[in-house]
Structure 1
Amino acid sequence: MENFMELDLLLQQIRNTSLLEWVAVGFGVTEVLLARKNNVLLYPAGIIGIVCSSFLLIHAKLYAETLLHGYYLVMSIYGWAMWKNRSSSGASQISRSSPKDQRITWSIALGGWVLLYFALRFFTDSDVPVIDAFVSSTAWAGMWLLAKRKLENWIWLNISNVVAIPLLIHKQLILVSFLTLFLFVVAIFGYLDWKKELEKKHEGYNAI
C-alpha cells in the first residue's frame, strides 16, 4: 500500500511538472547525447537548457546549483570556441588529462567545494550546503575538462550526478532527477565511446 502511494505521488509530481522543466530536460538530453557523439552542437543545445534550468533552481533555493549553471554557461561558450579552434591552443580532438590538467581539476573540485560551502552556509538559507556545494564543485571540474575535450570529464561529471540524484529528489525536482539519472547512464557510455575513439587514434599513429 505504501509503495502504491509513493508511485501515485511520483506520477502526480510528473503530471504537475512545468513546461519550463520539460524544456530544460529536453535540451539537457539533447546536449548529453551530442556530447557522447563528440558533436560540437552540444554547446548551443546546452546553453538553452542551462538558462531554463537556472530559473527552476533559483525557485528551489539551490543556490550553488544555480551558480553551477552560471559557470556552465560561461564554460559552454568557452568550450564551443575551444572545440572550433583548430590551432594547437584549441581542443579539436579528444585527449587524456595531463598531470597539469589533473592538478587544475582537483583544485577546482576541492577549492570550489570549500568556497561554495562557506558561501551557502553563511550567506544563504540553503538547507543542504555540504551536498549542494559538492555537486556543484565536482561538476565544475567536469565541465572544465569537457571544454578541454579531455576523456576524464565523464568521470567527474558522474561523481556529481550520483550525488545530485537524491538531492534533486529531496527538493522534489523529480523530472530533473530522472534527467540526471539518464545523464549518469549516458556518461558511462560517453566515457567508453571517447576512450574507444582515443585508442583508435593512437592505433592509427602507431601504424604510421
Structure 2
Amino acid sequence: MNETLSLFGLSTTPLELLSSLLSVITVWLNIRQNHWGWLFAILSSALFGALFYQSKLYGDMGLQVVFIVVSFWGWYQWLSGDDTHDRLPVTELSWAGRGVAALGWIAGFIALAWFLMMFTDTDVPFTDGLLTAGSLVGQLLLSRKKIENWHVWIIVDVLYVALYVHKGLILTAVLYGMFVVMAGFGLAAWRRSMDGLHEADTAMVLK
C-alpha cells in the first residue's frame, strides 16, 4: 500500500488513493443526508489514520480514531432520529451553542498543541492541533445534523490544503480542495432542507 504511484502527474500511494476515494464518497453521502456515509467515514478514517502515522501527523492520526468512535455514534443518531424518533432534521445552533462550539475548538487546540509539542516529534504542532480540534467540532456537529458543521469544514479544509502541501501529500491536498467545494454544496443543500422543514411547519400551523 506504500508503493509510489503517479496519478495525473502527482505522486501518491495506493493507501492515499483509496483513503481519498472513500472520503469523497463519505462527503457525497453526507450532503444527501444518507446514513451509509457513516460506514464510509469509518473505513476512510482507518486508512487515513495509517497514512497520517507515516507522515508524523499524530494529531490527525489520533483524530481518525476519535472519528471512528464518533461515526458509530453519528450513525446511531441519524438512524434513531429526534426525540420523536422521526428522521433527524437539519437544525442550527443557538448563539449560545455557537459560543460553546467556539470555546470547545479553542480549548481543544490548546490541549492538543501542548500534547503534540511535549510528546511527539511533529514539526507542525500548532497547525495540527488547531485543525484536529476543529475537525472534531465539525464531526460532532455533523453527527447532530447542525448546519454549522459545513462552516467549520470549509474553514478547516482550506487550512488543511496548505498543511498537506507542506507535508508533500499532494493528492490529499487536492482532495481537501475538493472538500471545500463539496462543503459549499453541502451547506446550500442542508439550508434548503432546513428551510423546507420550516415552511412545512408554518403550513401546519396555518391549517
Q: TM-score, normalised by structure 2?
A: 0.90
Question: Of 39, 43, 50, which aligns to 1:44?
Answer: 39
Q: CA deviation at 1:86?
A: 2.8
Structure 2 match to 1:114: 110
2:27 matches 1:32: yes
Q: CA deviation at 1:10?
A: 9.0
Structure 1 match to 2:60: 65
Q: CA deviation at 1:99?
A: 4.0
SS where residue 107 of structure 1 aligns? Answer: helix
Structure 1 match to 2:187: 191
Structure 2 match to 1:173: 169
Q: CA deviation at 1:107?
A: 3.0
**Cα distance between partner residues in 1 of 2:82 and 2:149:** 21
Q: CA deviation at 1:87?
A: 4.4
Question: Of 94, 97, 115, which aligns to 1:98?
Answer: 94
**Larger CA deviation: 113-122 vs 80-89:** 80-89
Q: Is the 8 A contact 1:82 1:148 kept in 2?
A: yes
2:141 matches 1:158: no
**Cα distance between partner residues in 2 of 1:45 and 1:89:** 27
Q: Is the 8 A contact 1:112 1:137 kept in 2?
A: yes
**Cα distance between partner residues in 2 of 1:101 and 1:136:** 20
Structural RMSD (CA): 1.8
Structure 2 match to 1:5: none
**Larger CA deviation: 90-99 vs 49-58:** 90-99
Q: Is the 8 A contact 2:26 2:41 kept in 1?
A: yes
**Cα distance between partner residues in 1 of 2:69 and 2:61:** 13
Q: CA deviation at 1:72?
A: 1.0
Structure 1 match to 2:13: 18
**Cα distance between partner residues in 1 of 2:182 and 2:8:** 24
Moved over 6 A (4+): none
Structure 1 match to 2:132: 136
**Cα distance between partner residues in 1 of 2:129 and 2:21:** 25
Question: Of 137, 142, 146, which aligns to 2:142?
Answer: 146
SS where residue 12 of structure 2 aligns? Answer: coil
Q: CA deviation at 1:45?
A: 0.8
Q: Is the 8 A contact 2:45 2:67 kept in 1?
A: yes
Q: CA deviation at 1:11?
A: 5.3
The percent identity for this pair of structures is: 27
Paired residues in the alignment total 198
**Cα distance between partner residues in 2 of 1:11 and 1:183:** 19
Question: Of 65, 81, 84, which aligns to 1:86?
Answer: 81
Give the counterpart letter for 1:46 in structure 2.
Answer: A
Q: TM-score, normalised by structure 1?
A: 0.90
Q: Is the 8 A contact 2:20 2:172 kept in 1?
A: yes
Task: Give the gaps of 5 or more residues in structure 1.
Answer: 1-8
